[in-house]
Structure 1
Amino acid sequence: MPILEIDHLQKAYGETHILHDINISIEEGDFLVLVGPSGCGKSTLLNCIAGLEPTTGGKISIAGRDVTGVSPKDRDIAMVFQSYALYPTMSVAKNITFGMKVRGVDKATQEAKLAEVSRQLQIEQLLNRKPGQLSGGQRQRVAMGRALVRDPRLFLFDEPLSNLDAKLRVSMRTEIKKLHQDLNASIVYVTHDQIEAMTLATKIVVMKGGVIQQIGTPAEIYNRPANMFVADFMGSPAMNLIPARVRAEGGATRIEIDRGQGDPLVFTDPVARDLPAEIVLGVRPEDIHEATGTAHLPDAARQSGGEVMIDVVEPAGADTFAVTHLGGKPVTARLRAESAVRPKQMFPLAFDLSKLSYFSPKDGQRLN
């Protein structure tokens, strides 16, 4: 039985529609991440799941129970907010146990739960402090502890790391992932950060304009984006999207890309594909290699190279990013750190043909 099932959910404010026919199902122990740009509806969807926002249509079920019209306190959920929402006059211990006290949980159980979660989150030494005496990361741990003591069927996280600095975000991300693994907790997590989504999720929902663009595992979302929006949004650097011309050639597919000067860059996909004459070619930066160093690639990829003019070279420690222009668009290749690539010089690049995505220039949908 799914731990969370959302059927044909709609949300509107008057004539303004925020969520359009949302359908999602996750199993117990799943870590679902709702990701998308600001204003895409992901926080509104989370609030509908929590019961903080009434729905306009559709149904929400938690552990097989229809909770569409049920009060938030009766949905068996716990929520961790972006703002932490801690009581400033209470100690850490009282913040964590306050919900249990309100629900009439006996004092011995409160103390046992407090000891358990404070040990899990390594905040034992903070229990007598007030929230104002804590760092951002410590306050976040307290907010998580308050959710954990409830032992709910479903945890809801609303951009919990967005107020933290970059280094602390990475360490807290690891802690949340470890908690999920240790507890086998069922989690719905909202973020606009696609790196957070990729590293935390067992399943990702990519949203745009209140519409689900794609649902899948991180690998599915990354390797087979359903459309150009997902391809561009998920990945850092983003997938290169290059206008190209296509025609059948025997039992294969000939692809031509404008280099801006001279003959086009031409290579042959060994698979015969039913494609329109003009497409948008999608290729991840790590799937564009130095043509002289492609011994680890499939045979077809080793024959897919061509020289291009390099505009910019960006050393990045373990990698070197080289930017060229193909099809009138900037294209980034992620090369080896020791690569001899130089700006304003021609350089041989090879595409890994087994990793290419093809999109329609008309509606942006995936074609392969």
Structure 2
Amino acid sequence: MSPILEINNLFKSYGSTEILKDINVSIEEGDFLVLVGPSGCGKSTLLNCIAGLEPISGGALSIGGRDMTTVSPKDRDIAMVFQSYALYPTMTVAKNITFGMKVRGVDAATQAEKLAYVAQQLQIEPLLKRKPGQLSGGQRQRVAMGRALVRDPKLFLFDEPLSNLDAKLRVEMRTELKALHQRLGASMVYVTHDQIEAMTLATKIVVMKGGVIQQIGTPSEIYNRPANLFVADFMGSPAMNLIPAKTRSSDAGTHIEIARENDAPIVLSDSKNRDLPQDVILGVRPEDIADAAKLAGGEAQGAECLIDIVEPAGADTFAVMQLGGKHVTARLHSETTAAAGLPQKLTFDLGKASYFSPDTGLRLN
């Protein structure tokens, strides 16, 4: 079975400025692909190329096995949900949702049937007689999604659809979008700069920077095995700790030495990763640095660390310290005894450690 979306060696330039460079992505039917990266990385341009709103400068793009490289947007069998919702202010919700079908000459009975179905799916039945000006941001978002759903397209495209909502509503809508995807089994491509949104929604993530794909993988692969320093730093909140370290090999494995100000270095051992260069960047997630009592067994090893800052955050408390000349964050439990200005015994779990080259930034293990 051919992929629902396939992009091969896609380039996009404006004059002599390259915006997208050698993009290769494919997704199967039912996948939820999230394009994520900082502002200006090219993710919205790539979405517009998929939609046909931007012509591509090189390469090929197919949807449902059909070459779409030169096909106009209206013939691509896609539905797009924009950040601005783009609703008609003078029409009721019902008319906003059915307008596209009416224009395409769909009969009234089919329009009514599809309207009833999406209104129930999105729980907007009580809103159908209202106009967009009488709706909240979250309700408008649902109506925009309803208008896309009645199309029953091969591919749904979302351009930062939640960025206009407040934090609480974003979380609610994120959950609804995930549930909707599971119910419909629809194929979706979704653009966001929010890596939490990417991690929670996606079946597959594309991390972009400067018009170049940095890594493609499942949320778990991206989080646990980042391909380079950029992905490691960008994905995760708080971000992965990236600590300059020295390595020494012995029969027992590799010793990882982390410098400290006014104190002897911390020395940790890694029995799994051998043949590392002498200089590395050690990547450790905040949750893999914990109170001594919490991380027992496995690859956990203790070290006493001087705590600089303690940040209570409900169920977690974040402790910040200086290691290897960098601020390093540990995610501790809320009852931790860690206090600013005092030493604290912490355990480092190297079972999930990442190692990167200081020169190339690429993953070494």
Q: TM-score range by the shorter chain?
A: over 0.9
- In structure 2, the partner of 1:252 is 253
Matched residues in 2 for 1:259 and 1:115: separation?
A: 64
List runs of 5+ in structure 1 lacking aligned partners. none
State the secondary structure of the residue aligned to 1:90.
coil
- In structure 2, the partner of 1:294 is 295
State the secondary structure of the residue aligned to 2:264.
coil
- In structure 2, the partner of 1:189 is 190
User: Which residue type is aligned with residue 220 of structure 1?
Assistant: E
Describe the superposition over 1:164-199 as per-residue Cα deviations: whole angstroms up to 9, x where unpaired: 000000111111111100000000000000000000
| Alpha-carbon contact 1:279-1:360 (below 8 Å) kept | yes
- In structure 1, the partner of 2:309 is 312
**Cα 1:104–1:362 shift into 2, 3 Å:** same
Matched residues in 2 for 1:203 and 1:294: separation?
A: 30
- In structure 1, the partner of 2:137 is 136
Matched, 1:203 2:207: no
Matched, 1:332 2:329: yes
Question: Identity percentage over the alignment?
Answer: 75
| Alpha-carbon contact 1:259-1:308 (below 8 Å) kept | no
Matched residues in 2 for 1:44 and 1:104: separation?
A: 31
User: Which residue type is aligned with residue 315 of structure 2?
Assistant: A
Q: Which aligned pairs between 1:58-137 and structure 2 lie closer than 5 A?
A: 58-137=59-138
Matched residues in 2 for 1:251 and 1:173: separation?
A: 47
| Alpha-carbon contact 2:10-2:20 (below 8 Å) kept | yes
Q: Which moved more, 1:142-151 or 1:86-95?
A: 86-95
Matched, 1:6 2:7: yes
Matched residues in 2 for 1:140 and 1:292: separation?
A: 46
Question: How far is the alpha carbon of 1:160 from its aligned partner?
Answer: 0.3
User: Which residue type is aligned with residue 146 of structure 1?
Assistant: R
**Cα 1:182–1:272 shift into 2, 3 Å:** closer
Question: How far is the alpha carbon of 1:319 from its aligned partner?
Answer: 0.9
Question: How far is the alpha carbon of 1:10 from its aligned partner?
Answer: 0.3
Question: How far is the alpha carbon of 1:33 from its aligned partner?
Answer: 0.2
Describe the superposition over 1:83-114 as per-residue Cα deviations: whole angstroms up to 9, x where unpaired: 00011111111110010011110111001101
Describe the superposition over 1:24-64 as per-residue Cα deviations: whole angstroms up to 9, x where unpaired: 01000000000000000000000000000000001110010
Matched residues in 2 for 1:55 and 1:271: separation?
A: 45
Describe the superposition over 1:292-312 as per-residue Cα deviations: whole angstroms up to 9, x where unpaired: 4432x31x42xx221111000
User: Which residue type is aligned with residue 19 of structure 1?
Assistant: L
User: Which residue type is aligned with residue 346 of structure 1?
Assistant: P
TM-score by length of 2: 0.98
| Alpha-carbon contact 1:292-1:348 (below 8 Å) kept | no
Number of aligned residue pairs: 364
Matched residues in 2 for 1:185 and 1:143: separation?
A: 16
Q: Which moved more, 1:51-60 or 1:129-138?
A: 129-138
- In structure 2, the partner of 1:156 is 157
Question: How far is the alpha carbon of 1:272 from its aligned partner?
Answer: 4.8
- In structure 2, the partner of 1:224 is 225
User: Which residue type is aligned with residue 156 of structure 1?
Assistant: L
Matched residues in 1 for 2:97 and 2:124: separation?
A: 11
Matched residues in 1 for 2:359 and 2:261: separation?
A: 23
State the secondary structure of the residue aligned to 1:246.
strand
State the secondary structure of the residue aligned to 1:309.
strand
Question: How far is the alpha carbon of 1:281 from its aligned partner?
Answer: 0.3
State the secondary structure of the residue aligned to 2:161.
coil
User: Which residue type is aligned with residue 14 of structure 1?
Assistant: G
- In structure 1, the partner of 2:356 is 359
State the secondary structure of the residue aligned to 1:162.
coil
- In structure 2, the partner of 1:47 is 48
Question: How far is the alpha carbon of 1:317 from its aligned partner?
Answer: 1.2
TM-score by length of 1: 0.98
Q: Which moved more, 1:234-243 or 1:270-279?
A: 270-279
Matched residues in 2 for 1:272 and 1:47: separation?
A: 42
Q: Which aligned pairs between 1:10-49 and structure 2 lie closer than 5 A?
A: 10-49=11-50
State the secondary structure of the residue aligned to 1:263.
strand
**Cα 1:317–1:272 shift into 2, 3 Å:** closer
| Alpha-carbon contact 2:295-2:349 (below 8 Å) kept | no
Matched residues in 1 for 2:321 and 2:37: separation?
A: 28
Residue from 320, 342, 346 that aligns with 1:345: 342
Describe the superposition over 1:301-335 as per-residue Cα deviations: whole angstroms up to 9, x where unpaired: 2xx22111100001111111110000000000001
Matched residues in 2 for 1:93 and 1:116: separation?
A: 12
List runs of 5+ in structure 2 lacking aligned partners. none
Question: How far is the alpha carbon of 1:276 from its aligned partner?
Answer: 1.3
